[in-house]
Amino acid sequence: MKKIVIFDMDGVLLDSEPIYIAMNMKFFKELGAEISLQEYDGFIGVSATKMWTYVKEKAKLAPTVEELKETERELKYKTLKETALTPTAGIVPFLDRLQGAGFTLAIASSGLKKNVHLILAKLGLENYFNLVVTGEDVERGKPEPDIFLKVAGHYGRPVEDCVVIEDSTNGVAAAKAAGMACLAYFNPHSGQQNLSRADHIFDRFDDQKLYGMFGL
C-alpha cells in the first residue's frame, strides 16, 4: 500500500510567508508593537495564540489575544483574496507524479480552514488532496503532533505509513513527535528555520533525489 504524503500549506504549496510578513509587520506597526524580523521568524509555523500572546505581552497591548487573533484573521483572508497567488515552483508536476503513482495526498496546515480552501482554489490544487486538516480541527497546534496524528487516524493507518513535507522548525518537530518521516523543504522566505531534525532536506521540488524517494 502506498504511503500517505502530508503537505504543510504555507511555505510549501504556496510561498506565502513574504505576503504574511509584509501584512503583519505593517499591522504590528499600527498597533505600536516593535517586533523584529528575527522575532517574526520564530512565529513561522506556530499557532496564532502563541504569537499574539508574545506580541501582546511585549508591547503591553490593550486588546485581548482573541481580539488580536480575530483582527489578524480578517486581515489575512482579505489579503489572500486580493493577492495574486501562484503555486511554489515545481510543486504541480510533483503532485501530478505522486497522484499518478497512487499516493494519498493530504494537507495538515496550522492555518484557518477558510484560508486553506481559498488558497487551494486560487492555486487550482483542490483536486490533488483527499483530506484537509487545519489548526481548527485539533486542540494543540504545531509543534505538538496532533494535526499529523489526526490525518493518520482518519485513514486508520499507522504513523509509519505517513511522510510529512514541512518547511518550519515547528512543523518538523510536530512530524517527528508524531513518529513520522519528515522531508523538509528549505524555503529561504520562511526565515531561519532549523530543519536539522528532518530525515532529508531539499530546496526544490524538481529534485531528482526527492522523486527517487517516492520511486517516481
Give domain 4-15+86-213's CATH superfamily.
HAD superfamily/HAD-like (3.40.50.1000)
pLDDT digits (tens, 9 = 90+) for 47-75: 788 899 999 999 999 999 999 999 999 99
- At residue 93, the pLDDT reads 98
CA nearest 115: which of 41, 43, 25, 20? 20
- At residue 189, the pLDDT reads 87
Spell out the residues 6+ positions from residue 140 whose beta carbon is closer than 8 angstroms to its own: 146
Report the alpha-carbon distance of residue 90 to residue 84 in Å, rounded.
18
Residues 78/112, Cβ–Cβ less than 8 Å: no
Is pLDDT at 45 greater than 70 in this prediction? Answer: no
- At residue 41, the pLDDT reads 79
pLDDT digits (tens, 9 = 90+) for 158-189: 999 999 999 999 999 999 999 999 999 999 98
- At residue 43, the pLDDT reads 82
- At residue 44, the pLDDT reads 75
| Domain ranges (residues) in the chain | 4-15+86-213, 17-82
- At residue 76, the pLDDT reads 93
Report pTM: 0.89
pLDDT digits (tens, 9 = 90+) for 142-152: 899 999 999 99
Report the alpha-carbon distance of residue 44 to residue 8 in Å, rounded.
12
Report the alpha-carbon distance of residue 143 to residue 171 in Å, rounded.
6
Mean pLDDT across the stretch 185-214? 94
Count the alpha carbons within 13 Å of 153 in the hemisphere toward its beta carbon: 11
Q: Which three cell numbers stand for residue 141?
A: 497546534
